[in-house]
Amino acid sequence: MSIIAFQGERGAYSEEAIRQHYGSTVDTLPCESFEDIFQAVLTHKADCGILPVENSLAGTVAHSYELLLEHDLRVQAEVVLRVHHMLLAPKGVKLSDIKRVQSHPQALAQCEGFLRRRGWEPVLAYDTAGSARNLAANPQPGTAAIASALAGELYGLEILERGIEDQNVNSTRFFIVGHGDAEYDADVPQKTSVVFAVGHQPASLYHCLGVFAEHEINLTKLESRPMRSRAWQYWFFMDFEGHINEPRCEQAMAGLLTRASMVKFLGSYPAAPLLAENGHMPPEPQ
């Protein structure tokens, strides 16, 4: 059975994303940091790792892309997790008992309106799942936690309120990274991720992107990140529809290689289903 590494405590949203992609029986390996995910895969302690790369509200996870650039692991799949925040408390605690709520700062911010309307004090914690684990181990009067449903299940906490996030479009995109390329299935929609740099001349970026327009390839993401080794120079992280084995994508990549100063192929992989407008995942195929 495969082992999938993730960052955080058991019950983290990354582990929830693993279960969404692989099923509930998969083995998981918690890691302290994103770097530890890569080391676990590179040393074969884990078969693959899952890495958050983008949130629909907070934007890109910059450190994840830096690590993808530094290490030679391939992106083998993407997972889009609809983030549902749960209000968790030890058994027997009622909503009327709650005075304060603990969680990671980002989770607290995403539930700010819900907490403010009830007059509850937000308490910062280092991790969503960690706040649930600590509350289960050391119950505090009047205290609840915000975390995933999985965290509540793992640590024996009850769900007092479901889906307490202020925005119903909060989703996180993850990459599954591992050794080698994903298996190509021409019947499944594909995406490709690359990183490239351009020379410091007029229209350099324009000419690099032009090869994708020439081959009618849709770009789904383009973002610049500063090079840590060179001041005021940038990497460009790009996703586009299609697989590197498709002739039009192969031709576009060949054109990019002749026009960019550096290109790194991150991977071609099955595209995750798009979220519906109401923020819910489409039904699973039968």
Which residue is it, tokens 């990354």? 14
Domains of the chain by start residue, with CATH: 3-82+170-178 (3.40.190.10), 86-161 (3.40.190.10), 190-270 (3.30.70.260)
pTM confidence score: 0.88
Do 178 and 48 touch, CB atoms closer than 8 A? yes
Q: Reduced to 3 states, what is the DSSP secondary structure of residue 99? A: coil
pLDDT score recorded for residue 21: 95
Q: Tokens in use for 68?
A: 């993808």
pLDDT score recorded for residue 33: 95
pLDDT score recorded for residue 285: 37
Tell me the mean pLDDT per 10 residues along the chain, length 286: 92 96 95 97 97 88 92 96 96 95 93 96 94 96 96 97 91 96 94 94 95 97 87 90 97 97 96 59 41
Q: What is the 3-state secondary structure (H, E, C) of 192-260?
A: EEEEEECCCCCCHHHHHHHHHHHCCCCEEEEEEEECCCCCCCEEEEEEEECCCCCHHHHHHHHHHHHHC
Which of the residues are catalytic?
172, 174
pLDDT score recorded for residue 274: 66
pLDDT score recorded for residue 121: 97
Cβ-in-10-Å burial (0-12, 13-18, 19+) of 221 comes to: middle
Neighbours of 283 (CB within 10 A): 8
Beta-strand relationship, 143-147 and 100-103: parallel
pLDDT score recorded for residue 1: 67
